[in-house]
Amino acid sequence: MIYRIDRLIEDTARRYRAAGRFTEGFVRGKLRHDPVYAYLLSNPAWLPRTGPVLDLGCGRGILMSLLSEARKLALTPFGDMCLKGIELRPNDAAAARLALGDDAEIMIADVRTAPLPECGTVVLLDLLFYLGGEDQDRLLKRIAEILPGDGVLVMREPDAGAGLRFQATRAAERLCALARGHFRQRHHYRSETEWRGLLEAFGFSVETVSMSEGTPFANVLFIARLRIAS
């Protein structure tokens, strides 16, 4: 099994070779060291029974590429799943398109205003803290409105209530913004408790899983399922 996972990581990273060696190496590092990918791959209950997986702020499409490659190795239970992504940065969207080809549909748009297609699962990895508080609320409300009764929202966010680990997270994000030349970038963080309360207010039941293992950061994965009205 370890061999198959190593092969999966390598095959997924090689999809990005046409986007350049730096991008390929970046993807390989993320898959090896970011715990969210191993968790989502080994706990596939979040995958939709019906409807596409919609990755908002999908970046280079790393999760979608991983799922697409896992499908080839029969490592995921839903071989016919449809993958869609929305990404604002053209360069990242181009890398995603190179890696995924016809395996996914990538749209260049701002998630705050882009129409959201029908889907079974929405993924938000490390996205919401880039938006202001009102934009976060509006986006989550829109997601709750488009998901079906058995729909799932998967999101990862820093936990602003996590003390020193959160301070490390915030410092790292600030340095990344400066490195990209985004000197005026602002981040809007919430605590795990605040995120849970907001999701529950939009009709979700929420499970949380720490995504800090092996890192100095304070990340939390939220698996939020729409409550079915009785």
Residue 228 has pLDDT above 80, yes or no: no
Question: What domains are there in the chain, each with its CATH number?
Answer: 34-226 (3.40.50.150)
Which tens digits make up the pLDDT trace of 146-174? 999 889 999 999 998 888 888 877 877 77
Three-state SS sequence of the chain:
CHHHHHHHHHHHHHCCHHHCHHHHHHHHHHHHHCHHHHHHHHCHHHCCCCCCEEEECCCCCHHHHHHHHHHHCCCCCCCCCCEEEEECCHHHHHHHHHHHHHHCEEEECCCCCCCCCCCCEEEEECCHHHCCHHHHHHHHHHHHHHCCCCCEEEEEEEECCCCHHHHHHHHHHHHHHHHCCCCCCCCCCECHHHHHHHHHHCCEEEEEEECCCCCCCCEEEEEEEECCCC
pLDDT at 97 over 90: yes
Q: What is the mean pLDDT of residues 111-125?
A: 95
Residue pLDDT, tens place only, 21-48: 999 999 999 999 999 999 999 898 888 8
- pLDDT value at position 210? 94
Residues 76-95: tens digit of each pLDDT: 665 678 999 999 999 999 99
What pLDDT does residue 127 have? 94
Span 93-115, average pLDDT: 97
What percent of the chain clears pLDDT 90, i.e. is strictly above it?
Answer: 68
Considering the chain, what is the average pLDDT of its residues? 90
In the predicted structure, residue 177 carries a pLDDT above the cut 80: no
Q: Which residue has the higher pLDDT, 229 or 218?
A: 218
